[in-house]
Structure 1
Amino acid sequence: MTKLIVTDMDGTFLNDHHNFDTKMFEAILELCQKKNVHFAVASGSQYMRLVKQFEKYQTRINYICQNGASVYIGNRLLYSEKLTHGELKSLDKVLSDQIVTTHLKQKLYLGQDGAYFLSHNGEALVEANKYFPLLHAISQINDIKELYNDNVLGMAVIGNGSITNKTLSQMIQNIIPNSFSCLGSGFDFYLIQHDHVDKVVGVKNLQEYFNVAPDDTIVFGNNYNDLKMLESTSQSFIMSNSPDDMKSIFNVLDFSNNQNGVQKKILSYLENI
């Protein structure tokens, strides 16, 4: 029977240095191939960052990008959720409100291929570059299509730490159009996309593509933007570094992300199916 493994990246599969144990991962991929199990990573980051992270294994795994705004089977696009030009302009206008900008360091427009910015904060862009490797300065929003021929899938903002993550996330949610949602991705990053876009949408796309049932899917996460995909299966696990209110709902792994906790659990799971 076909099965699916989906793991969040930062703070979950990756250690605090944004690395993972490659030897252990190669053992995981070998077992996946033998046992008809598909492996996927789910992240708020763009496809280009994920491919760079898994360069040696690009076509052997699957990618849920930008919290579910796009899904790739190896190097092939399976699904994407695009914003119209009008939607982007409307979203950008409300996010330029001074009430919100007081608490922001950076605003980014997230395309299929790159990430774009008008004004910039140098410190914030250094941090953003870890998750969005192709950053481009633009003079107007129209440049994204006219100069780079890219489609925008959503926006990201980076907070300046002046208020709590939950407060800023709710503040943004209160001012953006009802058809959009704001999801905190940790590290004071917030992704703003169509309200039906979520990592769980990516999980469901992969389940349908590979013909995998929810109970044959195992999911790993660590933060609020993982909630819906964690709730979508009976086999869901979170990290010891997850928020306390999540620990009362989901299974907590014995080992942290710095102890290869997810990889150890996946190996154990694969060896016993």
Structure 2
Amino acid sequence: MIKMLVLDLDETLLRTDKTISSYTQEILKKSCGAGIRIVFATARPFRSIKHLMDQTACSTAVYHNGAAVLLDGESAETSRIPARDTANILQTLQVKYADKKLAAEINDKIYANFDVITIWGKTQKEREILEASSIWTDFSDLPEADADKIIIEIDSEKEYEQIQSLLTPDLYGQLSDGKTLCLVMHRNATKLNAIKRIAKRLGIARSEIAAFGDDYNDIEMIKYCGTGVAMGNAIEEVKQAADTVTATNNDDGVARYIEEHILR
């Protein structure tokens, strides 16, 4: 019996236009009503998922790819990048790759050397959120606070490997967005680690968890959870790791699987 649903957001629960269909909202609310725990697991910051949690009655989230956890509306745990390491990495990269788009998430603000709205402001809601939270910088004036993640534009896997060589042992890089981004995080900050902590706290067994995803940072959790579900639009590596493949995000693949196989 499934007691917890772990849902990636972009290209999984969300349609390409970054919305959740009314059908999917209804199915998620039915799942909550049946006593099933809904957990969002995303690389997004909290500010860009709060309205989605409100739409779906979701009270638990793994965000910043596992760097932070919200459980029943309260912050549970964090695994962040030390402030000194954040500044060193970004300043080194800015010298080594002068034209690279770079950003850091700190205290629910995004510090970047480019206009983030042009890249991530795909909807009016997202543009409003970014306008209120983005700060242009050359990274010489970052606040003295630990970062949830560093975001680095990459052009090749060779570049990704070069970036990995700059990281301290307690940090790691994760490919994202079709290998166009490298997300740098604390080594403890993974979706899977956060899911394990949530499940342990709630007394939910591995076999009682179903996870849905589409991208590289979903592979670990899809392999680990009792039921791993790849989206029809997922990359091939995710499909190979999953137990089954559902419909695409634009065809409400998450909700269809839940209705047909879990809420029977």
Please name the residue that 1:249 is paired with.
241
Aligned match of 1:184 in 175, 178, 182?
A: 175
**Aligned-pair distance for 1:210?**
1.4
| Cα shift at 1:129 | 4.3
The answer as to 2:164 corresponding to 1:169 is no
Which residue of structure 1 aligns with residue 84 of structure 2?
Answer: 86
Counterpart of 2:29 in structure 1 is 29
Residue 244 of structure 1, CA deviation: 2.1
Q: Which runs of 5+ in 1 are unaligned?
A: none
Letter in 1 for 2:8: D
**What is the CA–CA distance in structure 2 between the aligned matches of 1:266 and 1:114, rounded to whole Å?**
34
Letter in 2 for 1:155: I
TM-score calculated relative to the size of structure 2? 0.85
Separation of aligned partners in 2, 1:24 and 1:227:
23
The one-letter code of the counterpart of 2:194 is: G
Q: CA RMSD in A?
A: 2.5
Map Cα deviations across residues 49-90 of structure 1 (whole Å, 9 max, x no partner): 0113333346x3311111100011243111111222222223
Deviates more, 1:134-143 or 1:187-196: 134-143
Cα pair 2:67 2:188 within 8 Å, conserved:
no
| Maintained 8 Å contact 1:156/1:192 | yes
Shift of 1:125: 4.0
Deviation at 1:171, TM superposition (A): 3.0
Give the Cα–Cα distance (whole angstroms) in 1 for the partners of residues 41 and 220 of structure 2. Answer: 12
Distance in 2 of aligned mates of 1:139 and 1:169: 22
In 1, Cα distance between the equivalents of 2:104 and 2:81? 11
Partner residue of 1:62?
Answer: 60
Give structure 1 regions of 4+ aligned residues with deviation exceeding 6 angstroms: none
Name the residue aligned to 1:234: 226
The SS at the match of 2:169 is coil
Q: TM-score, normalised by structure 1?
A: 0.83
1:271 and 2:226 correspond: no
Do the aligned partners of 1:65 and 1:71 also contact (CA within 8 Å) in 2? yes
User: 1:182 and 1:13 mapped to 2: Cα distance?
Assistant: 24
2:153 match: 158
Shift of 1:138: 4.1
**Match of 1:4?**
4
Distance of 1:251 and 1:101 partners within structure 2: 43
C-alpha separation between the residues in 1 aligned to 2:141 and 2:98?
Answer: 22
**Identical-pair percentage:** 16
Q: In 2, Cα distance between the equivalents of 1:186 and 1:37?
A: 30
